[in-house]
Each structure stands twice: as C-alpha cells, then as structure tokens.
Structure 1
C-alpha cells in the first residue's frame, strides 16, 4: 500500500476495517457523502458508536497514526482533533494486516503510536497495540 496515493490508501483501510467489523456480525452504517467527521457508525445492542478510520504506519516498533484531520480553509491548512465528534478510531495497519480500536478519550490530539515491539526506553506512557486489538474491543463491547 506504500505506492498508493493518500485517498486510495484511506479507501483500502476503510474497506479492511469494515470487513473486520462485518465478519464479527457488527452492523455497519455509512453516512451519505463525506461531510461527517466519522467514516462509519456501528450499532451494537441498540447503541451507536461513531468511528473514524485511520491508516497506521509501522515505524520504529509502533503503529503511528494521526488523531486529527487536515482541512484546507482559504489556502491555509487547518488541523483539528476529533474529541466530541467520534467515539473511536479504527486503525488499520497494512504492514501487519491488523485492525485496532482506540477510544477517542485514550488518544492525544495530534498523533498516537501503538507499540508492537519493546521500546529502547521504558516508559509508563506506552500504548501497547495488544490492548487495542479489535477482538479485545469486540469482547468488551458485547
């Protein structure tokens, strides 16, 4: 997926995440158009959850993804976080072919890394990818 343009990369990640949700028998709803801050909504036991899908890049032992959007207003790039607009990030790693679900409340407002390998420096602030695996989220939600 490295050769794909950003839009194509995003579409492939969306397709991968939607597949993972559907194969777990989760109802997936897509908004008409692209004016919403979320990419899909899932319904679980009558409760709706807004999800923004991101492509994660594997670098330095972690899956890195942006936790804000970039929009262009009057030739100036505006970046804003998703707090209050979504409930979860669904992060697809094409390198690992895995999906991770991150509550927006767990994510900083700029970028986040999900650690898949031991870090050189130990820190209590490491976000381990295994804690955000889609199956763990699925079990917790159901």
Structure 2
C-alpha cells in the first residue's frame, strides 16, 4: 500500500497537491462542525473562510514537506498560475491563518499569519538528537484542535478578524 507522502509526491503538479490539501483541510473543519465558506474562484488571496467563536477567519491552505530529520516545512509564498507563467505572492495580511496539512505525519496545523516566517516555516515534530531545536516551531503548539480551542474563546486570543 502506498503511504500518504508517496501519494503527494506522485501528484506532480503543485495545483493538484494544493487541491488535495484544501480538501483535507476543509474536511478537518467540517468534521469538527465548523462552517466553511469557499471562494467561487481561485483569484482570492485565501482558500477558505471558517466561522469559529462567532467570528470569520480567512485561511490560506498549504502543504508541508519533509525538511530534515524530525521537521516538516511549508512555504508562506503561494504560486498561482497566470496564463503561461506562475505568480508568486506572499499572504501580506490577506488571510489570518495558514492551515497546513502535513502528509508526513498526517497532521493538520493552524498557524496565525503573525507567527509565520516571511518565506518558509519549519515545524518540529520530534526533538533533535542534540537537544537543540534551533528556532523551529513545535508541532504540538500548532495542532488544529489546540488552536481551535483558542479561537472558540475569543477573549484568550484576538488574531482573527471579521470578514464583511
């Protein structure tokens, strides 16, 4: 049987991996009884809008990849096809969160844009043998269920915004 990572690697086009990630992330919200709104076309700077804690939050979906032993990473710059070329753009506050699917560990992460690096975010899921994590984000701090608990109680976190 082919594992998740191999399935993703077999999707050679970035758009196919992106669509798969968006479907997995969307399903993760739906099974948690969270309403999900999807833009009607691919020109919006976010992939989904979710309603949590009485507020709307714009979400940019990204796929993590194996970075090094015990880490995965994702790019905060998206590539969108424009005619015969690709347009690479950063999120630039056009979304409040990155929802990241990690096919290596089958995890879903929710990372506030304010806590994301400018180009690449590294997430550590296993402590290194030398004991130094070197500025990597710890996976358990960004697991979807943990972050959703924060969003359900807006007084404890105020990183989302109302979408009008």
- TM-score norm. by structure 1 comes to 0.89
Show structure 1 runs of 5+ residues with no match: none
Say whether 1:43 aligns with 2:25.
no
Distance in 2, matches of 1:56 and 1:43, equals 24
Using the TM superposition, name which of 120-129 and 108-117 deviates more.
Answer: 120-129
Q: Contact 1:116–1:130 at 8 Å: present in 2 too?
A: yes
**Which residue is 1:99 aligned to?**
108
**Which residue is 1:16 aligned to?**
24
**Which residue is 1:126 aligned to?**
136
Distance in 2, matches of 1:7 and 1:71, equals 8
Given candidates 56, 79, 83, the residue that maps to 2:92 is 83
**Which residue is 2:119 aligned to?**
110
Show structure 2 runs of 5+ residues with no match: 1-7, 153-164
Structure 1 pair 33–62 and aligned structure 2 pair: CA distance change class (3 A): same
Once the 2 structures are TM-superposed, how far is the Cα of residue 56 of structure 1 from its aligned partner? Answer: 0.3
**Which residue is 2:64 aligned to?**
56
Secondary structure in 1 matching 2:137: coil
